Amino acid sequence: MTKINAMWQQYPGLAPELTATLTLMEQNIKTHDPKITTAILEMIHAGGKLLRPAYCLLFSKFHTADRQKMIALAAAIETLHTATLIHDDIVDDSALRRNQGTIQARFGKDTAVYAGDYLFVVCFKLLAHYTSGLRSIQINSRNMEKILNGEIRQMKMRYQLDMSLDDYLLQIKGKTAQLFGAACFIGAYESGSSQAFAQQSQQIGLDIGIAFQIVDDILDYAQSSTVLGKPVLQDVRQGVYSAPLVFALQHATPELIQLLKKGPQLTDTDCEHIRQLVIANRGVAQAKQLAAQYTKKALTGIQRLPINAAQQELYQLTQQLLDRQY
């Protein structure tokens, strides 16, 4: 039974299309192993927010688009996102995602590798059948290349205590913002907008994505693993340093640096200690300022769009998303 996140009740124009997006994804996921099919479907149903398809659909409402086509493209984007999550969980050896065991943790890395690969293929299948031409596939494959390079960049920067804010921003542009930008671009472009409008939409999506990832990274420092659905500061143990830590390191105590040098050997107590030191060193406070800057940039961009119901929902959603939890 297809059920989307309760937050979408506030968006009556969008909710039925997001339900249709999820249903279409379900219909397209049919592997020859019921165990793998079920694992993927359970992951999809575990309450992913469907933000990327939501932005794709909203940006398609400034022109008169074939709704079925737009729903299929939104499904392709969320399918790609799911594929990257499954593979990220292999790379990070994550145990939990969306409050349930990751596919690797439950079924092993073999299933997780192929489940992710399979979803990449489903994404391209949906794109190939519903786009109006090769142009969107070209843009999408370029975007995917940037996303992969973002992941690769993050891997390369692991455990780098001298990581700069620019390094961090480049990383999250690749691994998160790029797909938000692509969702907005595809939504606009495939609904028949001008190239200029599609690029304007993409820029707004990039800013939303950057702000979204900073907020996500801040939440790692604010929340318990029970609330968040995944272990706290596991990323730091893996050598992935995000905005609060990068800021804190700019005026860090030797204590913090000493702790971080333990690398993969960090204990849960160490991580809690790091969390407190980062807050004490104003890392979280400065990251909040940075998130606010990108949020403001995104909201200003949305205010410049033609005023209609979609524009209002875009504004509301973006504000709600980036104000969450703090």
The binding site for its own copies (CB under 8 A) comprises 31-33, 35-36, 87, 90-91, 109-111, 113-114, 116-118, 120-122, 124-125, 127-129, 131, 133-134, 137-138, 140-142, 144-145, 148-149, 151-153, 155-156
Q: Which is nearer to its own copies, 31 or 203 (CB)?
A: 31
The smaller minimum CB distance to its own copies, of residues 61 and 175, is found at: 175
Nearer Cβ to its own copies (18/39): 39
Q: Cα(189)–Cα(136) distance, rounded to whole angstroms?
A: 8
Q: How far is the CB of 64 from its own copies (least distance, A)?
A: 22
In the bound complex, what is the minimum distance in angstroms from residue 101's beta carbon to its own copies?
18
Output 84 or 242, the one with its CB closest to its own copies: 84
Q: What is the DSSP letter of 253?
A: -
What's the CA gap between 217 and 165, in Å, rounded? 13
Q: 57: buried, middle or exposed (CB in 10 Å: 19+, 13-18, 0-12)?
A: buried
Contact assessment for residue 277 and residue 255, using Cβ atoms and an 8 Å cutoff: yes
Cα-Cα-Cα-Cα torsion 194, 200, 202, 205, nearest 10 degrees, comes to -140
Closest CB 229 distance from its own copies, rounded Å: 22
- Per the CB < 8 A criterion, the answer to whether 42 and 62 are in contact is no
Shortest distance, position 323 Cβ to its own copies, whole Å: 33
CB of 260 to its own copies, least distance (A): 20
With respect to its own copies, which residue has the nearer C-beta, 206 or 218?
206
Toward its own copies, which CB reaches closer, 3 or 32? 32
- With b for 16 or more beta-carbon neighbours within 10 A and e for fewer, the 245-269 pattern comes to bbbbbeebeeebeebbeeeeebeee
Q: Residue 26: CB partners within 8 Å, gap ≥ 6? A: 2, 41, 44
Q: Report residue 102: phi and psi, to 5°.
A: -70, 165
Smallest distance, Å, CB 17 to its own copies? 24
